[in-house]
Amino acid sequence: MDGTTTETSKLEQLWQLTAISDVTLQMVVMWVVIAVLFYMGVYKKYEPLLLIPIAFGALLANLPTEGLINPPVGDHAGGLYYYISKGVDYEIFPPLIFLGVGALTDFGPLIANPRMLLLGAAAQFGVFATFLGATLIGFTAMEAGAIGIIGGADGPTSIFLANKLAPHLLAPIAVAAYSYMALVPMLQPPIMRALTTEQERKIRMKSLRQVSRLEKLIFAGMVTIVVILLVPAASALIGMLMLGNFLRESLVAERLTKAAQNELINVVTIFLGTSVGITMTGERFLNAGTLKILALGVVAFGIATACGVLMAKLMNLFSANKINPLIGSAGVSAVPMAARVSQVEGQRADPGNFLLMHAMGPNVAGVIGTAVVAGYFIAWFS
């Protein structure tokens, strides 16, 4: 009898050492959500560089972990992600992502055809329309601003703005932003086809002129000066974006350019994604507000796409040099995926039509536009 009691006691001690009893129903439900994110990232290859870190961070958030996210107590250090997440809290990671994006981006198509700035600007109507819609269904103005930026299809900017205006909504906003960026090839084509005729989709645009290195350097400097003078709150994003681009176009800082394009952006992407995922606890994510944000994200993205296409059609009324309206959809800043969608849809109508470089103009204009709108919201509500 004593031996049996001792064995039972040891089993109880072993059980108490585990965390199985701490698993909750909310955690199990979140495992299903996480499985969907993994499926989208791994098997469907939708934005895997961000969705996989976000999903894995969410998995860690929905397990009874120790030494991972706990704050410091007395002389005891905090958990690993208590410190790593400071890169989001202190708004370090998104600007560093922009540094890498700038180093990867060629602004030549935009410089060669400056009219494309209007298409990038038109896509921002989706942001403001969703801002108004979010306020009408009960979100505060600051929450609505953070939600509306999803329409810009720019993940780092969405995270940056959410952390400024509505940090409690960071997880659903980030997931919505990156999920809809990943679904660009599915979400945009029906809108593009519905708003254009077959004849419009067959429009062939004139070849772009060659842009000199000096023009690109001047452009990076001028955008930095003008945007920061007009919207100082966008300084961190625009400054890092144009620093990365200036390094690229200078052609004399190859090591720095490659570091920004590869090691820096890759490391920061891992930390940013997992830091966002670590906030996706069941308590924060499984509520009616999250469903509203996901729905508003689709609306924002749809309106942004439609406004870009419609702006191109409007510009054609006053121009002899016609624009293929399909490239208007690339005004959202999902670089370069949205530009590729314009190319694919154009070749469906005319296999000999090549729109990719033309679409890159509004695509990179959208990056600048979304950063400016984010700065506007920060200035307005801070």
**pLDDT (tens digit, 9 = 90+) per residue, 21-50?**
788 999 999 999 999 999 988 998 888 888
DSSP states along 22-49:
G--HHHHHHHHHHHHHHIIIIIS-SSHH
- As a whole-number percent, the residues of the chain with pLDDT over 70 amount to 97
Q: How far apart are CA 219 and CA 79, in angstroms?
A: 44
The pLDDT, as a whole number, for residue 2 is 56
Quote the distance between the C-alpha of residue 164 and its chain's center.
15
Instruction: Show Cβ contacts of residue 239 under 8 Å, excluding neighbours closer than 6 positions.
Output: 95, 224, 228
pLDDT tier, 175 (very low <50, low <70, confident <90, very high otherwise): confident
Residue 139 is predicted with a pLDDT of 94
Cα 231 to Cα 196: distance, rounded to the nearest angstrom: 34
> In this predicted model, what pLDDT tens digit does every residue of 51-83 receive, in sequence order?
899 999 999 999 998 889 888 988 889 999 999
- Say if residue 19's pLDDT is above 80: no
Confidence of residue 165 (pLDDT cuts 50, 70, 90): very high
Above pLDDT 90, what percent of the chain? 69
- How crowded is residue 254: how many other Cβ atoms within 10 Å of its Cβ? 11
From the number of C-beta atoms within 10 Å of its C-beta (0-12, 13-18, 19+), residue 120 rates as: buried
Contacts of 154 (CB under 8 A, 6+ apart): 177, 181, 333, 334, 366, 367, 370, 371
Q: How high is the pLDDT of residue 178?
A: 79
pLDDT computed for residue 51 by the predictor: 87
Q: Who wins on pLDDT, 350 or 182?
A: 350
Average pLDDT over residues 171-199: 87
Please state, in angstroms and rounded to a whole number, the distance separating the CA atoms of residues 94 and 87: 9
DSSP for residue 150:
G
pLDDT of amino acid 334: 77
To the nearest whole number, what is the mean pLDDT of the chain?
A: 91
What pLDDT is recorded for position 243? Answer: 98
CB 87 within 8 A of CB 226: no
The number of beta carbons lying within 10 Å of the beta carbon of residue 207 is 10
DSSP letter at 252? S
In the block, tokens 């953070």 appear at: 146
Between 221 and 287, name the one with better pLDDT: 221
